[in-house]
Each structure stands twice: as C-alpha cells, then as structure tokens.
Structure 1
C-alpha cells in the first residue's frame, strides 16, 4: 500500500488537530491543578488561621473544633485524590502524545526512505554499462586481431608458395645453367682441339 504525499499531509493535519485537542485538554488539566493547589493553599492558610483563633479564643468547645477539622481533612483528602487523578491523566496524555509522535516519525522516515534515490543501484548500472562497452571493444579488437592473424597467415602461405616457386625456378635455372655450362665447356674444348 503506497502512500502519497497528499495522504501524508492529511494524516499530519489530523495528528496536528489531535495534538491541539490534547494540548487544550492538558492546559485545562493544568489550570484545574493550579486552581486545586490554590484551594489547598487557601485551606492550609485557613487551618493556620483557625489554629491561631483557637489559641486566642479558648472559649469554643473542642468538639466543634474537632468536627470542623475533620470536615476540612475530608475535603483536603478529596482534593488530594482529585489532584492525583489529574496527574495520572496528564501522564497518560504525555505518554499518548509521545507514542503518536514516535509513530508519525517512523511513518515519515519510511516515506522519506522510499523516495530516496538509490545511488548504489545507479552506480551499479553505470558500471554495467562501462563493462558492457569494454566487452564490446574487446570483441571488436579480438575480431580485428583474428582478421590480422588470417591475413598474416595468408601472407605467410603466399610467401612460402612464392618461395617454393622461386626455389623450383632457381633449381631449374641452375640445371639449365649447369647444362649450358657443360655445353659451353664441351664446345670450348672442341674449339681448342680444333685450334690446336
């Protein structure tokens, strides 16, 4: 399943929208947490003021003060529980956001990797073309050398043939010359004999 750039952009826009929603939820949770912290601080301050008033005015019955303190303690526990739940929700939000961003980065990296130019394959093709060209040149040179060897062999055969003809002719001429020389010597001998 191939993804187009348009699909990636659409997915990125959806993720950005989700991130904005989660961001607004996180901002709301942070605002709530701050408000609760302020309430806790106000309650602590109230408790301190109550303690000071109790010290100043020891006329109030202790049972009423204890019941008020218990109510405040229950209220503080509820606020603390709510605070823990808000922190847990914030951690879940951060974990989800990190998970989404990790998936987005992986997806984007895969798409970038798919669109990369494979320089090694191009280089291999270039080497194959060069090797093929060299092989063609070598074949041409081998054909030329074969022709040259045939021509050289034909020339050697012609040379040997001509040499054989010349040797035969030379031999024939020597015989003729030798015969002529004998005839000349015999004629000279006869002429000498006749002269004397």
Structure 2
C-alpha cells in the first residue's frame, strides 16, 4: 500500500508542477496582452495627432489616408475584442485547474485516511481487497487526470492559436501604420511642390 500512496504523491507533485507551468504560461500571455494594449494606445495617440494636425492645417486629409485609418480602427477594435476573449479564456482555464486540484486533494486525503483506518481495523484477509479497491480508485483518478491533461492540451492549442492570430494582426497593423506614415510624407511633399509652383 505504501507504493500506492507514493504513486499518489508522485502524481500530485507532477500535477502541481504542471499547474505551475500553466501559471507561468498565463503570466506570459497576460504580459503579451499588456504589451499589445500599449501598442494599441500608441496607435490611438498617433491617430489623434494626425487628426489634430489636419485640423491645424485647415484641410481635409487624403481619402486613402482616411480609409487606412478607418481600417486601422476596425483592426484595433478586433484586437481589443480578442484580448478580452483571451483574458476570459485564461481566467476560465485557471478556475478549471484550481477546481480539479481541489477535488484531487480532497479525494486523495480521504483515500489515505480511509486506508489508515482500514489497515488498523481489518485482518490480513481484508488487505488484498482493500489494496484492490484502492488500486481501482487510483486508476479512476488517473483516468480523470488523463482527461484533465487532454483538456489542458486542447486549451493550450486554442490559446496558442489566439496568440498567433494576435501576432498576425499586430503585424498587419504595423504595415498599415507604415502606410499611414508614407501617405503623411507624400502629403508634405505635395505641399512643398505647391509652394514652389506658387513662387
């Protein structure tokens, strides 16, 4: 029976280690989310500055620049929505893991306590029955743990897919920002040409 209890303890340590790894992954994803939010804020500030400059210049912005800014706004809203979904998924993931670990600890503690009482109360003939019962219960717990591991892997794949999509959209936003800068430079060049033509 000591080997069976040792196996339970080893499984619990492994599950705790996996939970710690998941917590580190969640922290990394949250940090990336904060970084993306900072980039979004910087892009919003850029848009406000462009609008302010257009008001000062007292002229309408180039139609292509307006289209790009509107497109960029749509992408910003989509990224913000994905960030909210990612944050909700992470919270749900952590809650599920905490619930599984709590149930596992309760079940393990009950089984160890019952095992101690049964070993004191029953004779040698009962030992084999108790060990067999405990082995079956441990197999059930192992099946639950395997199911939880599969759930973890599928959630992790989903989270990685969301992070990959966020990175792709972030790259697209960077390209649009470069286009915005390019059109801003073209507008300045047009003003210079107009000024020289007037002179």
Distance, in Å, in 2 between the alignment partners of 1:41 and 1:64 is: 24
Partner of 1:34: 98
1:105 aligned onto 2:165: no
Task: Decide which of 105, 111, 120 is 1:56's aligned counterpart.
Answer: 120
Partner of 1:84: 149
TM-score by length of 1: 0.53
Deviation (angstroms), 1:88: 0.9
Paired positions, count: 124
Deviation (angstroms), 1:8: 2.2
The runs of 5 or more residues in structure 1 that have no matched partner are: 130-196
Partner of 2:132: 67
Deviation (angstroms), 1:63: 4.0
CA RMSD of aligned residues (A): 2.8
* Within-5 A mapping of 1:110-125: 110-116=175-181, 117-118=184-185, 122=189
Task: Decide which of 107, 111, 118 is 1:47's aligned counterpart.
Answer: 111
Distance, in Å, in 1 between the alignment partners of 2:122 and 2:76 is: 67
Partner of 2:75: 11
The runs of 5 or more residues in structure 2 that have no matched partner are: 1-63
TM-score by length of 2: 0.52
Relative contact order, higher structure (CA 8 A, sep 6+) = 2
Larger Rg: 1
Distance, in Å, in 1 between the alignment partners of 2:120 and 2:88 is: 47
